[in-house]
């Protein structure tokens, strides 16, 4: 039995479809990969930058914080990065008083325990990016910005 | 000469006319020189065909001759059975519907992925001590989830610091309003 001759791309179409499916399944499986997390401690104050020894945060983040909070300037105090395997937990020390415990729950989802001088003060589950914040006694504020560095949530 | 008469002459030559018609055709051909010439030409063509046809005789009877041919065909069919499609051809036949199914599954997976509940709004925090009351909100323009710790008890030194009176989230942004 003879069959009509098909163009080359039509003959290869089934294989291309299978290849595309394989890529897609791989992409679906990708969220099970490690979480590259960045934890940044930020200080919010009205102090002018030339009087502060810290560098200011990037303008987009500063604009977001300025939109929501009253402080005019936001300075980066600590920047810590960690790779957290799925369902595992890492402790990130951001200052003498502040440590966060981060558990990778899956795609851009983390369980966060905040510890103040080793004492847990909160427990929660957050989608990344997220920012924890509180006020200091001197009318300034602290912020902890958590974000994934895998390129999916870079805010 | 009329075409009808030409056909009649040809039929007479082939012996297809009845006796009356044949007699009439013979008389007309004898009377008409043009008809006589056509008749001679047709006669010559017929003779030429008959002379050039070769007759072949076979030694066997008709039935035996054809049965020999039939047996030969059956023998060759047994030696060379009909070849089916090649392995590659059969593989391609299976692969085409499989690829279609795979493409459909890929589209469904993409669609399901699109309609999967977004986790970006997930933001739940509870306090572990009486000192802090965590409150959450989402800044929609930036897509960032916020957790705000508010001191439940203020020290005397901090009592002068304006504390948020209420949190308002109008869907587009979040404001801490001070008293």
Residue B39, pLDDT score: 87
Residue B6, pLDDT score: 85
Q: DSSP label at A69?
A: S
d(CA A139, CA B73): 106
Residue A66, pLDDT score: 92
Helix (H, G, I), strand (E, B) or coil at B62: helix
Q: A interface toward B at CB cutoff 8 Å?
A: 1, 3, 11, 13-15, 17-18, 20-21, 24-25, 28, 60, 64, 67-70, 106-109, 112, 114, 119-127, 129-135, 137, 139, 153, 155
Q: Indicate which of A4, A64, A68, A99 best probes the interface with B, i.e. most B CBs within 10 Å of its own CB.
A: A68
pLDDT digits (tens, 9 = 90+) for B60-103: 888 898 999 999 999 988 887 666 777 888 888 888 888 888 88
Q: How do beta strands A73-84 and A55-56 pair?
A: antiparallel
Report ipTM for this prediction: 0.76
Residue B138, pLDDT score: 86
* Bridge partners for A103 per DSSP: A89, A111
**Shortest alpha-carbon distance between residue A86 and chain B (Å):** 16
Residue with tokens 């059969």: B90
B111 versus A126: the higher-pLDDT residue is: A126
pLDDT at B118 over 80: no
Q: What is the mean pLDDT of residues A120-138?
A: 88
Radius of gyration of chain A, Cα coordinates, nearest whole angstrom: 23
pLDDT exceeding 90 applies to what percent of chain A? 43
Which region among A5-9, A80-84, A143-147, B49-53 has the lowest average model confidence (pLDDT)?
Answer: A5-9
pLDDT at A143 over 80: yes
A152 versus B71: the higher-pLDDT residue is: B71
Residue A151, pLDDT score: 66
Contact predicate A41/A144, CB 8 Å: yes
* Bridge partners for A135 per DSSP: A141
| Residue B135 burial class via C-beta count within 10 angstroms: exposed 0-12, middle 13-18, buried 19 and up | middle
Residue B116, pLDDT score: 59
- What integer best gives the mean pLDDT of chain B? 77
d(CA A134, CA A123): 15
Q: What would the two tokens of residue A95 be?
A: 């200052």
Contact predicate B145/B123, CB 8 Å: yes
Would you call B95 and A14 a contact, using CB atoms and an 8 Å cutoff? yes
Sign of the torsion formed by the C-alpha atoms of A80, A83, A89 and A90? negative
Contact predicate A112/A146, CB 8 Å: yes
B120 interaction partners in chain A (CB closer than 8 Å): 108, 127, 153
Would you call A17 and B106 a contact, using CB atoms and an 8 Å cutoff? yes
Confidence of residue B159 (pLDDT cuts 50, 70, 90): very low
Would you call B123 and A120 a contact, using CB atoms and an 8 Å cutoff? no
Confidence of residue A101 (pLDDT cuts 50, 70, 90): very high
d(CA B7, CA B28): 13
**Shortest alpha-carbon distance between residue A125 and chain B (Å):** 5
Residue in B103, B109, B122 closest to A127 by CB: B122
Nearest C-alpha neighbor of A155 from the set A56, A77, A16, A57: A57
Helix (H, G, I), strand (E, B) or coil at B135: strand
| Residue A65 burial class via C-beta count within 10 angstroms: exposed 0-12, middle 13-18, buried 19 and up | buried
Count Cβ neighbours within 10 Å for each residue of B80-104 and write b for 16 or more, e otherwise.
eeeeeeeeeeeebeebeeebeebbe
Residue A147, pLDDT score: 92
Residue A121, pLDDT score: 86
Q: Indicate which of B117, B122, B137 best probes the interface with A, i.e. most A CBs within 10 Å of its own CB.
A: B122
Q: Give the start-end residues of each E strand in B54-94.
A: none
Which H or E element spans position A14?
Answer: helix A8-29
Radius of gyration of chain B, Cα coordinates, nearest whole angstrom: 53
Other CB atoms closer than 10 Å to residue A149's CB: what's the count?
Answer: 15
Confirm or reject contact between B147 and chain A (CB < 8 A).
yes
Q: Model pTM? A: 0.51
Which region among B19-23, B55-59, B112-116 has the lowest average model confidence (pLDDT)?
Answer: B112-116
B133 versus B168: the higher-pLDDT residue is: B133
């Amino acid at each position: 039995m003879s069959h009509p001759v098909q163009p080359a791309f039509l003959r290869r179409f089934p294989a291309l479809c299978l290849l595309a499916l394989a890529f897609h399944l791989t992409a679906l499986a990708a969220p099970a990969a490690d979480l590259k997390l960045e934890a940044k401690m930020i200080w919010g104050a009205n102090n002018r930058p030339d009087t502060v020894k810290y560098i200011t945060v990037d303008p987009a983040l500063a604009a977001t914080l300025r939109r929501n909070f009253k402080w005019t300037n936001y300075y980066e105090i600590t920047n810590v990065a960690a790779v957290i395997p799925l369902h595992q937990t890492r402790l990130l020390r951001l200052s003498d008083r502040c440590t966060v415990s981060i558990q990778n729950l899956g795609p851009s989802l983390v369980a966060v325990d905040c510890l103040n001088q080793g004492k847990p003060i909160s427990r929660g589950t957050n989608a990344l990016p997220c920012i924890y914040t509180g006020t200091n006694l001197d009318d300034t504020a602290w912020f902890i910005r958590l974000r994934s560095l895998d390129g999916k949530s870079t805010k | 000469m009329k075409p009808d008469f030409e056909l009649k002459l040809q039929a007479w030559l082939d012996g297809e006319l009845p006796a009356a018609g044949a007699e009439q055709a013979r008389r007309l051909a004898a009377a008409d020189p043009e008809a006589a010439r056509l008749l001679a030409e047709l006669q010559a063509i017929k003779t030429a065909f008959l002379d050039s046809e070769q007759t072949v005789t076979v030694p066997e009877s008709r039935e035996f001759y054809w049965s020999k041919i039939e047996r030969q065909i059956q023998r060759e069919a047994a030696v060379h059975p009909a070849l089916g499609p090649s392995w590659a051809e059969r593989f391609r036949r299976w692969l085409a519907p499989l690829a279609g199914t795979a493409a459909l599954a890929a589209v469904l997976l993409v669609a399901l992925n699109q309609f999967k509940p977004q986790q970006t709004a997930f933001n739940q925090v509870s306090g572990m001590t009486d000192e802090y009351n965590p409150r959450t909100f989402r800044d929609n323009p930036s897509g960032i989830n916020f957790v705000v710790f508010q001191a439940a008890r203020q020290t005397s030194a901090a009592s002068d610091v304006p504390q948020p009176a209420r949190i308002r989230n109008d869907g587009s942004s979040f404001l801490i309003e001070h008293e």
